Structure 1
Amino acid sequence: MNIVLGILLTIIVFFVVVMIHEFGHFITARMTGMKVLEFGFGIPPKIKKIFTDKKGTDFTFNALPFGGFVRIDGEDFSKPSAFADGAFMSKSLPKRLLVLVAGVVMNLVLAWAIFTGMFLVGAKPLTVIPMDIGPTHSFFLPSFEESLESGFIKRSNVTIEPLEDSIAQKSGLRENDEIISVNGQKIVDTDDLVEIIAKNKNLDFEILRDGEIQKIAVHPENGKIGTKIFYKSLELNQDFSKKTGIIDAMQLGAGETYHTSMLTFKLVKKTLGALFFPKDDAERTAAQKNLSGPIGMGNAFVMMIEQALPISVILLFVALLSINLAVMNILPFPALDGGRMLFTTLYSIGKTLGFSREKILKGEQIINSLGFILLLIFMIYVAGIDIFRLLQ
């Protein structure tokens, strides 16, 4: 596929995911009686007003096709109309919070719909998460241990390579012996073997050597026998999949949306923590490698299209992109939906405690402005990493 077409499709995907987010804000603003001034397709500068609907909302076409926006009456606190009937701030706290969180909800609904569809037609995991963050509980993004348990990763038996003149070698164990059991306990993974060696003074090994099963007695010293332990082979099970009926698919899709969102939170927390508060330079470097913004994700999507990967993989990428957008937006940082929800709540608390409206809103505007600047700097930093990675 032509690289230009790949880039075009990437822009379309980003546009659709963001517009679904914005549609959540739009539809809930309408439902709660707020006046929506503008629904913008793309990012300004404005090119053309497409039409104005019966409720006075301008639908506009803008120059930068990387998303869109919804402009609700009363979001600009400096204007006298900010608290007029139908304005954002004129509504109750629950209604304002509903409008602010609706974009995130719509992104999660999109991911759920894609996951549900995947389970209906036959879902396959996308990849194995290499980072040490514990179980992910995600079918599409399992941890290494979960992949082994589910059968997504196929491996050989635990295999050994005795060290020269070690107890293992002197007892009769040989290189590439596959361990079936020890003292009658089936050896599933390397941890099983290490644990049973450490806890027992007498070991009866059942091994597979040259296609034949043999038994060998070994007597450890200080919980050790002197051998390397490994898997001779590890490979993905290409036939591994899960296909269900509609009800189960919907339930699995909901669970997958939740667990993938939690996984994304973990990865964001781990990456940002290592980036800003690293234990050492190596940890910061590793965090930078894991960091990726729209440019990096766009490049990954273009590569998927160029490699003619199955449509299911591309749809899963869209679902993960949608969840990433939801997670990033719900963070309680100024200029993001989560930050606006926090300040909207604090505003109501402040009013209840008797603080003046002007002081509260002035403080929010200052913090939002500083937050927006910091967010912009961070986005430029991430874009720089993505561009440098592309040039390499």
Structure 2
Amino acid sequence: METVIAFIVIFGTLVAFHEFGHFLFAKRAGIMVREFAIGFGPKIIAIRKGETLYTIRLLPLGGYVRMAGEDFDTVELQPGYRVGLLIGRSGEVEKIYLNRNVANPDVLFLETESSDLEKELYIEGYDDEGQLVRYNVSRKAIILEKGQETLIAPYDRQFESKSVGSRAMAIFAGPLFNFILAFFIFLAIGLLQGVPISEPTNEPIISEVKAGSPAQMAGMEEGDYIKVVDGKPVSTWMEFSKVIQDNPEVPLQFEVDRNGERVKLEIIPATVKEKGKEFGRIGVVYESPVEKNPLKAVAFGAEQTYTWFMRIFELLGMLVTGKFSIDALSGPVGIYKATEEVAQFGIYSLMNWAAILSINLGIMNLLPLPALDGGRLLFFLIEAIRGKPVSKQKEGMVHFVGIMLLMVLMLVVTWNDIQQFFF
């Protein structure tokens, strides 16, 4: 249960911060945001504040910010269509009823002759007496149909009305906020846990022994300096760790230096399964000395963000060149299992994991692939070069194909995860 909560909190925070970037810069550009959603599928919670509906949906596997004009959400009243109008004190239409049965006696009905709910903001038609009348429509008018309310979106509040730069920034802000979130998480780790005083020595010195672990039950203590494992001298943490990993459920003989005294221990590494392979673990941690310094914590946050950005970017390069197999990729199942493993090492390990996932989410969304933020940014670049946008139909088709391919990739990766972790 703790893993489920940790997974939902981490993934929900990453998605919320990503979408908040889109939301904030869309609002700054004057774009109407119709919905800010965390998750997909049926709504669990829905709260309307101003012109935006804030929702939490059933499937916590993503989120979205729905901007006016992005998905053909504008309403066109065809000639001959009968509508009901509620006129406000200013003389402008405040509500437009598309239902034919409206109980409100203040509603005026007319048969539409022409209308423009984006630029000129008017409705013209014939009333019940056959007179041709024209009404101006409020910029904040609401359209009601079958109990659903939709704000009209004047053209200057729509996504497509903004400059290429403003639109690109509204899209780029999502990944950008993931990098910002990672920086603040690393900063928090530096402030709360401390910043390493020096480069790790990599010596096999035990910094922490986990409660209930094979190491604790065998009598290993914090500060023990590992000298010999299974008859072989070890001089680095990596050498020590490799012996443990390669020998799950195998009794190993240890010689440790404890305050100048040689102590012999026998430990049987427990078995853990990762990516379909079994490894041994005894439940010990290596950490270098730390200090708490706010200025160094800021530098630590920036350094860690840059370091992990470059590492993930390099891994993507290896994937493209074939040096990195697609089988090594993880989907939601793999991330969940990894979160379960990381959670065993405490809150700071979870925070570090969340920061790495945030950077990964930002980079993945910047890839120039259809349906991703990077794919949309690519279309903006083409528009800037051509001087005119690619037609919505063509762009929509490219994104649709991209979504289908991403869904197939997600299914393949998820199936690999299930096979590796559960079979």
Q: TM (normalized to structure 1)?
A: 0.63
String of CA shifts for 1:6-47, please: whole Å, max 9, x gaps: 223212211111111111111111111110001113212234
Superposition CA RMSD, Å: 3.0
The answer for the alignment partner of 2:60 in structure 1 is 65
The answer for the alignment partner of 2:9 in structure 1 is 12
More helix as a share of residues: 1
| Structure 1 residue 115 corresponds to structure 2 residue 163 | no
The answer for the alignment partner of 1:323 in structure 2 is 359
Q: What is the alpha-carbon distance in structure 2 between the residues aligned to residue 48 and residue 153 of structure 1?
A: 49
Q: What is the alpha-carbon distance in structure 2 between the residues aligned to residue 257 and residue 379 of structure 1?
A: 26
Letter in 2 for 1:12: V
How many angstroms does 1:322 deviate by? 0.6
Q: What is the alpha-carbon distance in structure 2 between the residues aligned to residue 124 and residue 248 of structure 1?
A: 7
Closer, same or farther: CA 267–152 of 1 in aligned 2, 3 Å: farther
String of CA shifts for 1:267-318, please: whole Å, max 9, x gaps: 12213432xxxxxxxx6xx62452212210111112333x3x1211111001
> In the alignment, which of 325, 333, 339 is matched to residue 295 of structure 1?
333
How many angstroms does 1:346 deviate by? 1.4
The answer for the alignment partner of 2:223 in structure 1 is none
Letter in 2 for 1:76: D
How many angstroms does 1:265 deviate by? 0.8
The answer for the alignment partner of 1:154 in structure 2 is 203
> In the alignment, which of 305, 314, 324 is matched to residue 350 of structure 2?
314
Q: Structure 1: give runs of 5+ residues left out of the alignment.
A: 126-138, 140-148, 156-175, 179-235, 275-282
Closer, same or farther: CA 31–387 of 1 in aligned 2, 3 Å: same
The answer for the alignment partner of 2:172 in structure 1 is 101
Q: What is the alpha-carbon distance in structure 1 between the residues aligned to residue 178 and residue 29 of structure 2?
A: 20
Closer, same or farther: CA 48–110 of 1 in aligned 2, 3 Å: closer
The question of whether the paired residues in 2 share the 8 Å contact of 1:271 and 1:291 is answered with no
After superposition, residues 245-264 of structure 1 pair within 5 angstroms as: 245-264=293-312
After superposition, residues 1-392 of structure 1 pair within 5 angstroms as: 4-50=1-47, 52-54=48-50, 56-76=51-71, 84-122=155-193, 150-154=199-203, 238-274=286-322, 287-305=325-343, 307=344, 309-350=345-386, 352=387, 360-392=391-423
Q: Secondary structure at the match of 1:153?
A: coil
More strand as a share of residues: 2
Q: What is the alpha-carbon distance in structure 2 between the residues aligned to residue 84 and residue 62 of structure 1?
A: 29
Q: Secondary structure at the match of 1:60?
A: strand
Q: What is the alpha-carbon distance in structure 1 between the residues aligned to residue 374 and residue 285 of structure 2?
A: 40
The answer for the alignment partner of 2:259 in structure 1 is none
Q: What is the alpha-carbon distance in structure 2 between the residues aligned to residue 7 and residue 383 of structure 1?
A: 17
How many angstroms does 1:49 deviate by? 2.8
Q: How many corresponding residue pairs?
A: 272
Q: Secondary structure at the match of 1:85?
A: helix
Q: What is the alpha-carbon distance in structure 1 between the residues aligned to residue 297 and residue 44 of structure 2?
A: 43
Q: Which has the higher contact order (CA 8 A, sep 6+)?
A: 1
Q: What is the alpha-carbon distance in structure 1 between the residues aligned to residue 55 and residue 394 of structure 2?
A: 32
The question of whether the paired residues in 2 share the 8 Å contact of 1:83 and 1:90 is answered with no
Q: What is the alpha-carbon distance in structure 2 between the residues aligned to residue 18 and residue 296 of structure 1?
A: 18
Letter in 2 for 1:263: R
Structure index of larger Rg: 2
The question of whether the paired residues in 1 share the 8 Å contact of 2:67 and 2:159 is answered with yes
Closer, same or farther: CA 239–36 of 1 in aligned 2, 3 Å: closer
How many angstroms does 1:255 deviate by? 2.3
The question of whether the paired residues in 2 share the 8 Å contact of 1:11 and 1:66 is answered with no
How many angstroms does 1:66 deviate by? 2.9
Q: What is the alpha-carbon distance in structure 1 between the residues aligned to residue 157 and residue 296 of structure 2?
A: 42
Deviates most, 241-250 or 20-29: 241-250
